[in-house]
Amino acid sequence: MKTKFNAIAALLFSIAIATTLFLHSCVFNQSNTLTPLRVGINQWPGFDIALYAKEAGLFEQRGLDVQFSLFDVSQDTVRALLRGSLDVGFTSIWELMQADPGNDNPVYIMVTNISAGSDGIVTQSNIESMQALQGKKISTKLGTVSHLILLEALQLHQIKPEAVRIEDVINDIAVERMQDGSLDGAVLWEPALSETAAAIDGNIVFTTADVDSLILDGLATRSSFLASNREMLTQFILAWFDLMHVVETNPDVVFETVGQQLGQSRESFAKDYAGLKKGDIALNQRMFEPQGRLQETTHQIAQLLRDDPRHSRIVREDVEINSGPVNDAIQRWKP
């Protein structure tokens, strides 16, 4: 009888130990279920807004441990992405189409914003129109988004690219040269656009609010990463839609939080963001519909690049527009 009792006691003890280990394992897993996602980002209001999602835990609520890597320029984000140092990256479609060839293809999976006044062209006080810029010196950084802004403006006003003389300089230098009068015009973005116009009593002769702009930004990944991580990307987009909902319903909280992280006031960041169409569900539906605006945009950008070969870049024809993750998120998102 005693032997039987001891056997039962030993069995119960073993079960208790096993149960304890199982429960400990569950608790451990629950506290470590966040999936890491390496995200490249550079400073731009349409991307900066994601800082609120991280601060407020929106990514964590979707099971993600988002790890931001800050880059000075979007081109570096794209390089790191295609080399495998990042999982996804915030970038413009323009930058992606000019990326160096590699072993993997770039894929665009979400639109974060479209410029609608945040980018434009400022001129000296004696130049009051785009037409008056013909034969003049205007700054833009060839092969970057600022070059696309110029080409978009020239196309709108039916001016051939070669009709303007391009000074291939970055924004900071362009602002200095506008102030010393050695440039006739400059492609800039806010707040430098308005600040420069005010400082030199100049004119803003074009902004992206004048067109259905090609200056759009979004989220890119690699085809191999998408193939094995579609659900993770869908969760990221769901968190993004959570963020867009807060921007719509409680923008002051978002702008205050992001502004603090950037060293700006709430009002200052709100002004910067105001020049963008936000990448909510409605915008992404329009962008990713079959043969929709995003597909059309890539064709238009490629043609503009061919029309002005001064950038000396090769246009990639293998950028994939994949609506899978964003459509999954649209179907599943609820406020």
pLDDT values of the chain reduced to their tens digit, one per residue, 335 residues: 333 333 333 333 343 333 333 333 333 334 468 999 999 999 999 999 999 999 999 999 999 999 999 999 888 999 999 999 999 999 999 889 888 777 788 999 999 999 999 999 999 999 999 999 999 999 999 988 899 999 999 999 999 999 999 999 999 999 999 999 999 999 999 989 999 999 999 999 999 999 999 999 999 999 999 999 999 999 999 999 999 999 999 999 999 999 999 999 999 999 999 999 999 999 999 999 988 899 999 999 999 988 898 888 778 777 899 999 999 999 999 98
* pLDDT, position 8: 35
- Measured between alpha carbons, how far is 93 from 46 in angstroms, rounded to an integer? 14
Across the chain, the runs of DSSP E, i.e. the strands, are 35-42, 64-71, 88-92, 106-115, 119-123, 137-139, 165-167, 185-189, 203-207, 216-222, 276-278, 320-321
Answer whether 35-109+221-286+315-332 and 119-210 agree in fold.
yes
First to last CA, the chain: 64
What strands lie across the sheet with 165-167, from one edge to the other?
165-167, 137-139, 185-189, 119-123, 203-207
Amino acid at residue number 215: I
Per-residue tokens: 319? 């950028």
DSSP conformation letters of 93-158 = HHHHTTPPP-SS-EEEEEEEEEESSSEEEEE-TT--SSGGGTTSEEE--TTSHHHHHHHHHHHHTT
Which residue bears the tokens 């280990």? 21
Tell me the CB-side half-sphere exposure of residue 93, using CA atoms within 13 A: 30
* Domain 119-210 classification at class level: alpha beta
For residue 240, give the 3-state DSSP assignment: helix
State how far the alpha carbon of 148 is from the alpha carbons of 52, 95, 208, 211, in Å. 29, 10, 11, 13
* pLDDT, position 32: 60
- Measured between alpha carbons, how far is 151 from 153 in angstroms, rounded to an integer? 5
Domain ranges of the chain: 1-30, 35-109+221-286+315-332, 119-210
* Domain 35-109+221-286+315-332 classification at class level: alpha beta
Per-residue tokens: 300? 């238009």
